[in-house]
Amino acid sequence: MTAMQAVALYAGLNLLILGLLSLPIGLNRNKKKISLGDGGDSQMNALIRAHGNAAEWIPGALIGLTLLAMTGMGTLVIHVLGLLFTLARAAHAYAFLSGQTTGPGRVFGAGMTFLVFLVIAGLLIWKALS
């Protein structure tokens, strides 16, 4: 597997996470007759924020992984970062979907997402300057 194929794998997995996060929003909109926003419903707000949070973080990580692969970063590094990021996003999504908006899943998901972002940023800067 090449580095770009590894990026494609994690792009696909994270896009699945993003897509899966949208499903309960649509189902709850229909069930609760909420066409826009959260309608003042705390569960709806949590579902919207879970999807929004993923939509905010996933593209940046995928762009970063792509640039790392394009600048010659090894496949193993892409796999480590991609896997850690995907596990973080899955834990974060699971926490929100199970109604645990506080707790270890969210803490791990947010913390690991941020850590992977920092590592990707550092590696990109290093690649750009070397």
Q: Residue 97 has what pLDDT?
A: 82
Q: Residue 92 has what pLDDT?
A: 92
Q: Residue 13 has what pLDDT?
A: 98
pLDDT in single tens digits along all 130 residues of the chain: 999 999 999 999 999 999 999 999 988 888 888 888 878 888 888 889 989 999 999 999 999 999 999 999 999 999 999 999 999 999 999 988 887 777 888 899 999 999 999 999 999 999 999 9
Burial class (CB in 10 A: 0-12, 13-18, 19+), 63: middle
Q: Residue 33 has what pLDDT?
A: 85
Whole-model pTM? Answer: 0.90
Q: Residue 99 has what pLDDT?
A: 76
What residues does each domain of the chain span? 3-129
- Locate all alpha helices (DSSP H) within the chain, ordered by sequence: 3-32, 42-70, 75-97, 104-129
Q: Hey, what CATH topology would domain 3-129 get?
A: Four Helix Bundle (Hemerythrin (Met), subunit A) (1.20.120)
Q: Residue 103 has what pLDDT?
A: 81
Q: Structure tokens of 24?
A: 């309960």
Q: Structure tokens of 9?
A: 């794998």
